[in-house]
Each structure stands twice: as C-alpha cells, then as structure tokens.
Chains A and B, each alone.
Chain A
Amino acid sequence: MSLDTRIGPEPTLSPPSGSGSRRLKRAVSAVFWFCLTLALTFLGLLAITFFIGRIIPIDPVLAVVGDRASAQTYEAARVAMGLDRPLPVQFLSYVGDILTGNFGTSVSTGRPVLSDLGRVFPATLEMATLGIIIGVALGVPMGVIAASRQGSFVDQGIRVLGLLGYSVPAFWLGLVGLALFYAHLRWVGGPGRLDIFYDGLVPYVTGIMLIDSLLAGDFDVFRNAIWHLVLPASVLGFFSLAYIARMTRSFMLDQLSQEFVTTARVKGVPERVVIWRHAFYPIRIQLITVIALSYAGLLEGSVMIETVFSWPGIGNYLTSALLNADMNAVLGATLVIGAVFILINKISDVLYRVLDPRAR
C-alpha cells in the first residue's frame, strides 16, 4: 500500500481498556449461536431425510421378509426393525444412528453406505476443486473488466455469458463437450478418471488421483488424470465462472460509484490502480462468500456432470442408487452433500462477519 497517503495519526479503533471481557463474552455467545443454528439446520436436514425415508411406497419390512411370510414373521420383523415404535422415538434412534456413523447398508453394493461415500467423495472433491479454481481465475477478472467498461461490447458479452450460466443444462454442456473436444478434436480424455490401462497402477492414498499419482511418483498417470479431469472440471468451472463474474461485476459497480473512487481519479491516480487497488480491494471479502457459495453449488452440480462423464464420485453414486431404488444410499448421499453444503454456507457467513469490519 505505497499509495496510502496518511494524514495525521491513525484513528484508534481499539476500545478503551476493561472491555476485553465484554468482547470475549460476545465472541462466546456468537460461537454458541452459530453452533446452535448449525445443529438445528442439521437436525432439519435429518428430519427431511427421515421423512423421505418414511413416505417411500416400498414397505421396508416386506422387502426383508418377502411377500410369502406369515403375519407372525412379518410382525416379528417389524418389531425387530423398530418400526412398531412411535415416530418420534424412531426419529431419535435414526439421529443416533447417523451420529454414530451408521447410515445402513447399500442394497446394490452390499457395503455400509458410509464407507461407500468415503470411497467416492474424493473424486467429487477433486473435480469440484479444479472447477472452482477455473471459475475464480477467469470469473473475477471478467467481472472486474465488465464493470470497468460498463455498457461496452465486452460488458454485454460477459453479461450474456453470465446469463448462459443460468440457462445451459450442465449435463447437456458435458455431452456436447465430450462430442466436440473428445470425439472430434481429441484434445481431452474421455469419460472416467483414467484410461483403462492406467487403472489401478497407483495405490489408493487420498483418493484424489492427482495427489496419489504424484505420491507414487508416476507422472504418466498424473498426466492421464489431468487429461481426463480437464473437461468435466471446465464444464463445472463454467457455471461458477458465470456466477462469480456476475457478482464481481455488481460489487465492482457499487464500489466504482463511490466518492473515494472519484477522488482517486481526480487526484490523477492511474485507472489501473483505481480499479484494482481502490475499488477491488474492498470487495474481496464479499467475494469470499460468493466463491464459497459457488463451491457448495459445484458439489451439487457435480451430480449431473458425473453421470455424463462416468466420474466415480458421489453424484454418480447418488444417481445410480436412485435408479436402483437403493434408499439407504440415496438418503446417505443426500445427507452428506446436504451437510457439506450447509457447512460451507454457514462458514462463509461467519467468515464474512469476522473479516468485514462493516458487518460486525
């Protein structure tokens, strides 16, 4: 901040002594409320998945005992499964199960749902993370440029691009991308995480192929993984780019209409400095929130993308469970995606309040 021309002593922002304990008390109560709303939201999520599990037209007891079982066997199985208890009790025991990591067993894989989810989640994380990197790296500069040339051709183009992010079906973009860049141009790898002859070459450590291949020192696998990752991540990245560019543009327009920007311009500060240092600097905290929300959105968006790219992540797991009517797996995946979504949402909310002095 070499351009900062300080006039006089800095205003003292620290409160007079003696208020330290009050501040601590405020922080403690803030943390308490944060945890309470978080817990309530999670409980709401659990209530919804519990409710969904109860409205399925499939009779869970009948699915276990078969339709030729006698009434006694049926009743015994019903009691054994705890379905004769009142609903609130059933809900409590469901919450207890989830908290102890018991998500039930998947009908289609025959394994506990939680371990299945642990196995597939890294693939989704890898794709969404690369997607958000692409989205931020392109979206933020585009938003800033659009705002600094408001009304120009560039601005209109970026605006339409942003609206396309709300109107293009993700699965369609993935399919067209595959047809164009994989089948015709051969620029990227096809569906899946690796070519088939690279499969199983590197040991499973983190589940994130880019890291695992580097840990094993196998650069061929690393290159192949990038080759396969680049298209699905770019498709995801497009959607976060559209959102981030749009929000950046609107934040920047807010700032550029402020008086301190006019002052800086009048003082003859170069336009580049006005835009990047004076106007962009204050919006970086708002951008953190936007980026976090967009990241959570990408986890959701990956459901559609993974099916198209046969990407063995949580989205693919969820959709194949849906088609097999594997309710334990469906509800487990819904819970995990929902929980991550909620967590990112709330954390970004808190970060915004902690980092931005105006929101305190």
Chain B
Amino acid sequence: MASARNWLLADSPSSRLQANLGRTYRISAALLRNPLTVIGAIIILVLVVTALFAPWIAPYSATGQNLSNRLLPPGAEHWMGTDELGRDIFSRVIYGSQITLTIVLLVAVIAAPLGLLIGAVSGYFGGWVDRLLMGVTDIFLSLPKLILALAFVAALGPGINNAIIAIAITTWPAYARIARAETLTFRNSEFISALQLQGASAARVIVRHILPLCTSSMIIRVTLDMAGIILTAAGLGFLGLGAQPPLPEWGAMISRGRAFILDQWWVATMPGIAIIVVSLGFCFLGDGLRDVLDPKQGDKY
C-alpha cells in the first residue's frame, strides 16, 4: 500500500502513465479532503445513476394517470404524493432527472467547445481577430442571460430543444473569455514558438496544444455554471417555454403544482427540492474543484 502510494507520488515519474496516475491521485485525494465536495460528487453520482436506471428505480410510470388517486399527500404508497392526474410525483421526479441531465450535458457539449474555440482563436491570433471576437463576446456578456434566453425561445418556439439552444447561446461568452485569458498566458511561451518553427499550422497549435491546456479551468467553470443552467431550464419549463407536457420536467411540474400550492403543497414543492439538491451538488463540486485545480482564484465565485 505504502509503496503504491510512493510510486504514485514519485517526484520524478519514469513514465507518462505514472505521471498521469500520480496527478489523478493527488487531485482526488485533495478533493476527498473537503466534505462539501464529497457531498457534491455523491449527489451528481446519484443523479447520473437515477437518470440511467430510472425505469428500474421509479415505482410507477411517469405519465400513467390514475384519477382515483388524485392529489394524495405524501405517504407510504406515494413517497412524494400524487398530482392532479393521480400520477406518482416521486416517479416523475425520478424520470425528470433524465431531462435535467440531458439539458445540462447538451448545453455543456454545445457551449463549452464553442466558447473554448472562439477564446483560443481570439487569444492566439490577437489583433483584429481578437478585437472583433471579443467585441461580440463582450456584448453578449453584458446582456441579461435569462431575458436573452427567453427572447430566443419566444422566437424559436417553445420546446426542450429550443430551450437548450437558447441557453447555449447565452452561456458560451463566459467560456470564450476564460479560454482567451488562459491562451494569453502561454501564447508567447517557448513551446508555442518551437511548434511554429517546426511548421505546425495555427489550427494544429490551437487544437492539439492550446485547447488541452485550457480544459481544467473550463471544467471548473462549466461545473459552477451547471446550477445556473438547471435554474434557467427550470425557469423556461415553469413559464411553459421549455419541456412540454406530459414530460416530467421539474420546472414544468412546479408550474402545474402552482394551482394547488395553498392546499396540496407537495405537488409544487417536491420537484423544487429536487432542483435545489442537484444544483447544490454542482455548486459544491465546482467549489471543490476550483479550490484544488485553481487555488489562486480563491473564493471569488
């Protein structure tokens, strides 16, 4: 055990594999030291497992109606009660995790690479390219995100796909800024000059050598942004602009429970708690990741 640890923490690793494993070990050990980070990681893990195995976990179907069981309070039979169509809220919350995870992943997959590429290109080339790209980025950054997403969805039409596009459109500028700042720090360093002298094309330098170096700060930022993305998606769902019924999207479920909030509080409250738990999980994890991977940034977010 001790020798494995020594091998992982060796000052001069003898192979690339050893260096990578050592780095992974050091980072995960640092992450495990912070209880909030562990809680966050567990929450996200539970979310992923729930989404993957929803049909086996949920006791009832997400859309099956049973009008004789309308608006039952939480109890042994229905852990979170039932809604106005007699659907089991616990099962709907379970299935809703699939939608939330899909939205979050798709937004990250669309917005992060886009922002990364724009920022890296801007930082690498500088000059007019930089000024133009950053000008556009700054304009997007200085606009209110939620309002912009609302306006885009209004134009594109309601629905989960358009909600994802709208959120992605409002999310990329922050990533572009970060990627540019990162790129500038090593734009003039010697390994870049060496690559250029070897005749590497700009595309090759950016994709193979600059982008990988930006990923760690990008991962932190994306994790921290997840909570915001979930809230925006839920907000769009709440306003009837996101996922459409009968999809068990958490925001849309709160919106339906609104009519019963005074007497049947559980209909709106339960999906809200799910949103809070998952968002908090991402916040905890993002905070912890930042403390470990980028300590100089401190508690700014």
Q: Is the CB of B147 within 8 A of A304?
A: no
Closest to B280 in A: A167
Contact with A along B236-261 (1 / 0, CB 8 A): 00111100000000010010011001
B233-292 contacts to A (CB < 8 Å): 234-235, 238-241, 251, 254, 257-258, 261-262, 265, 268-269, 272, 275-276, 279-280, 282-284, 287
A253 at the interface (CB under 8 A from B): yes
- Selecting from B51-59, B136-144, B197-205, the interface stretch reads B136-144
Neighbour of A175 across the interface among B136, B261, B287, CB < 8 A: B261
Q: Is the CB of A166 within 8 A of B235?
A: no
**Minimum C-beta distance from B217 to chain A (A):** 18
Q: Count chain B residues whose beta carbon lies closer than 8 angstroms to a beta carbon of A.
A: 51
B152 at the interface (CB under 8 A from A): yes
B148 at the interface (CB under 8 A from A): yes
Q: Is the CB of A179 within 8 A of B265?
A: yes
From B150, B240, B241, residue with most partner A Cβ within 10 Å: B150
Neighbour of A167 across the interface among B147, B154, B240, B279, CB < 8 A: B279
A83 at the interface (CB under 8 A from B): no
Q: Is the CB of B261 within 8 A of A40?
A: no
Neighbour of B143 across the interface among A175, A246, A338, CB < 8 A: A338
A294-337 contacts to B (CB < 8 Å): 296-297, 299-301, 303-304, 307-308, 318-319, 322-323, 325, 327, 330-331, 333-334, 337
Q: Is the CB of B147 within 8 A of A318?
A: yes
Neighbouring A residues of B33 by C-beta, 8 Å = none
Bound: A259/B140 CA distance, A:
40
Q: Is the CB of A176 within 8 A of B275?
A: no
Closest to A338 in B: B143
Bound: A299/B227 CA distance, A:
20
B155 at the interface (CB under 8 A from A): yes
Given contacts A52-B155, A175-B258, A179-B261, contact A250 B144 (CB under 8 A): no
B156 at the interface (CB under 8 A from A): yes
Q: Is the CB of A183 within 8 A of B299?
A: no
Q: Count chain A residues whose beta carbon lies closer than 8 angstroms to a beta carbon of B.
A: 55
Q: Is the CB of A176 within 8 A of B272?
A: yes
B113 at the interface (CB under 8 A from A): no
B127 at the interface (CB under 8 A from A): no
Neighbour of B150 across the interface among A170, A299, A322, CB < 8 A: A322
Contact with B along A34-66 (1 / 0, CB 8 A): 000000110011001100110111000000000
Q: Is the CB of B143 within 8 A of A55?
A: no
Bound: A132/B272 CA distance, A:
24
Bound: A152/B206 CA distance, A:
45
Neighbour of B254 across the interface among A172, A254, A303, A327, CB < 8 A: A172
Contact with A along B117-143 (1 / 0, CB 8 A): 000000000000000000110111011
**Minimum C-beta distance from B140 to chain A (A):** 8
Bound: A52/B275 CA distance, A:
30
Neighbouring A residues of B261 by C-beta, 8 Å = 175-176, 178-179, 183
**Minimum C-beta distance from B150 to chain A (A):** 6
Q: Is the CB of A307 within 8 A of B239?
A: yes
Q: Is the CB of B262 within 8 A of A318?
A: no
Bound: A303/B146 CA distance, A:
9
Bound: A167/B301 CA distance, A:
13
B64 at the interface (CB under 8 A from A): no
Neighbour of B238 across the interface among A52, A53, A166, A304, CB < 8 A: A304
Bound: A253/B299 CA distance, A:
9
Given contacts A163-B284, A176-B272, A250-B300, contact A44 B151 (CB under 8 A): no
Q: Is the CB of A40 within 8 A of B139?
A: yes
Q: Is the CB of A169 within 8 A of B234?
A: yes
Neighbouring B residues of A167 by C-beta, 8 Å = 227, 231, 275-276, 279-280, 282-283
Neighbouring A residues of B154 by C-beta, 8 Å = 52, 56, 322, 325, 327, 330
**Minimum C-beta distance from B99 to chain A (A):** 15
Neighbouring A residues of B155 by C-beta, 8 Å = 52-53, 55-56, 327
Closest to A182 in B: B262
Q: Which residue numbers of A lie inside 8 Å of B, CB to CB?
A: 40-41, 44-45, 48-49, 52-53, 55-57, 163-164, 166-172, 175-176, 178-179, 183, 246, 249-250, 253-254, 296-297, 299-301, 303-304, 307-308, 318-319, 322-323, 325, 327, 330-331, 333-334, 337-338, 341-342, 345-346
Q: Which residue numbers of B lie inside 8 Å of A, CB to CB?
A: 135-136, 138-140, 142-148, 150-157, 227-228, 231, 234-235, 238-241, 251, 254, 257-258, 261-262, 265, 268-269, 272, 275-276, 279-280, 282-284, 287, 298-301
Q: Can you report 23 residue pairs joining A to B where beta carbons are below 8 Å apart?
A: A41-B139, A41-B142, A44-B143, A45-B139, A48-B139, A48-B143, A52-B152, A164-B276, A164-B280, A167-B275, A169-B234, A169-B254, A169-B272, A172-B275, A175-B261, A176-B272, A297-B144, A300-B144, A307-B238, A308-B258, A330-B151, A342-B143, A345-B142
Q: A322-B239, A334-B147 are in contact. List 14 more A-B contacts (CB 8 A).
A: A44-B140, A48-B139, A48-B148, A57-B156, A167-B275, A171-B238, A172-B276, A178-B262, A249-B299, A303-B150, A323-B239, A334-B148, A341-B143, A341-B144
The 7 A-B pairs of least Cβ separation, nearest first, read: A44-B139, A167-B279, A172-B272, A300-B144, A183-B262, A52-B155, A250-B299
